[in-house]
Amino acid sequence: MRSVLTINSGSSSLRFALFNVSESLPQILIGKFDRIGLPDAKLTFTDVLANQSHDRMVDAPDHVACVPLLVELLEKKIRVESVGAIGHRVVHGGPRYRDPLRVDKPVLEELRRISSFAPNHLPSTIALMEVLAAKFPQVPQIACFDTAFHSALPRVAKLLPIPRRYEAKGVQRYGFHGLSYSFLMQELEAVAGAKAAGGRVILAHLGNGASLAAVRDGKSVDTSMGFTPAAGLVMSTRSGDLDPGLVAFLGRSEQMTETQFDRMIHHESGLLGVSETSSDMRDLLAREAPDVAVDVLSLIVTADRTETPFAERSGILFIGNFQHPPNCDALEDYLRNIHPAVRERLPHVVFTVIGAHVPPHLERLGDDGVQFAGPVADIRPHFAAARLSVAPLRYGAGIKGKINTSLAFGVPVVTTTVGAEGMELHHADNILIADAPEAFAEAVVALHSDAALWTRLSANGLRAVTTQFSVANAERALARVLGLRGDAGSTTRASRL
């Protein structure tokens, strides 16, 4: 089995992920080294296939020190020699690099030349590339640049209002978080269609670093970050936009050097600087408003139970958009590892796949017991005829619409721990949960064959949807948010998942 390792190095962190080389690129392992350079550095990782997470304290004085620990972890999961490529997120490509490219000596030299453009990121990235090249000399390393998404900015957005001679030295607006924005645009097209993704779009990347981007016709036309990732919005510890006159003022009044100023705007400002307590919004909310309740307004579905009795139903459904990688991975795993066992015990039951953009290699995995229905105008007749639906997700976060949709039609679901995460659903009460392929197949067969089990899960699943995700539940949450009901002295806020 060949695999691809991806590396995302931050100023004091190193994220990594390992993917199996197949057309759907399923994740095998994900993790992060955090607080690099500090005494309490920590390694956290998740074995995706086993759905097991672990963490431990590590000695990581710098990014290079993480490599032996990462290699040791990889050796426990795979044969290290199976790593076929290593991909790096590189925060800055300067004026020259726009497309992903293989790392070689000239690339490393150019990155060193522009390392002053991103002094908190590029030196550690370069060091990682060099030590990984020594450890895996035959494995190609590919650099993917965070500035590439914004490389086609119009000149009016790219040009900074300083003497033009600095433009020749590469001083311009570059923009950042480009890999994140590229992913968001792919997801937007998958969810809302090509027309929406090709229109006027505002994107927000909100984390410790934060930025906005304006996109038209699929291309960035403006962005809040500039020459460095310190510009734009107020961030966790970065200042965002400041009056440039502060440089001279603090130099005169505080004898602040350029190094001290750089540290201040990158590590001591933003939410941390304003609050003087924490850069974490959760900490700030707990301190500033400990009595403020938080209401969650989640995905809304309308219960529309299909009344077809158990005896008149047959078949298994899988519904989803297959431009979404977790759906492709789930379908591939089902067809390869679950469907044959189900087919052996239920030879006349048809597995129907509903949704657009099923990759050809997944269609080729089907047999005469698999039907690819494509996108359908009305999904209700399919749910009215089927006995159950499946959501064999191995990764992905958030409320799963495919599960809510099925339960709202009164059709029970078999899913995984990942699929049920965050939905307040309970195994054998309102859903069946199984992670191993053999256990998943056993649950599908049981639910398709047992009328009493089906009837109980159908009723309880519908009740769970009505309780948590109905229009009435959303109305109650909004009423609390707006102060229309509830304790007079209580203030509530809502966040939409």
CA-closest candidate to residue 423, choices 492, 357, 497, 488: 497
| CA-to-CA dists, residue 275 to 63, 79, 87, 237, angstroms | 30, 48, 37, 11
> Is the Cα dihedral 454, 460, 461, 463 positive or negative?
positive
- Beta carbons within 10 angstroms of residue 495's beta carbon: 9
Catalytic residue among 34, 47, 62, 146: 146
Which neighbouring-strand residues pair with 15? 8, 32
Q: Backbone phi, then psi, for 192, in 5-degree steps?
A: -110, -10
Helix residue ranges per DSSP H, 140-280: 155-158, 178-192, 194-197, 245-253, 258-267, 270-275
| Annotation says 146 is catalytic | yes
CA-closest candidate to residue 228, choices 273, 278, 183, 173: 173
| CA-to-CA dists, residue 399 to 15, 85, 205, 346, angstroms | 24, 33, 20, 30
CB 2 within 8 A of CB 80: no
User: CA–CA separation, 324 vs 358, rounded Å?
Assistant: 10
CA-closest candidate to residue 267, choices 238, 241, 240, 243: 238
Q: DSSP label at 59?
A: -
Q: DSSP label at 164?
A: G
CA-closest candidate to residue 209, choices 226, 224, 229, 227: 229
Residues 124-160 as b/e (b if ≥16 CB within 10 A, e otherwise) read bbbebbebbbeebeebebebbbbbbbbbebeeebbee
User: CA–CA separation, 473 vs 377, rounded Å?
Assistant: 28
The strand pair at 101-102 and 141-145 is best described as antiparallel
- Spatial CB neighbours of 377, under 8 Å, sequence gap ≥ 6: none
| CA-to-CA dists, residue 449 to 242, 368, 462, angstroms | 66, 21, 20
Question: Tokens representing 235?
Answer: 């961030």
User: CA–CA separation, 128 vs 456, rounded Å?
Assistant: 55
User: CA–CA separation, 66 vs 433, rounded Å?
Assistant: 36
Q: Which residues are catalytic?
A: 146
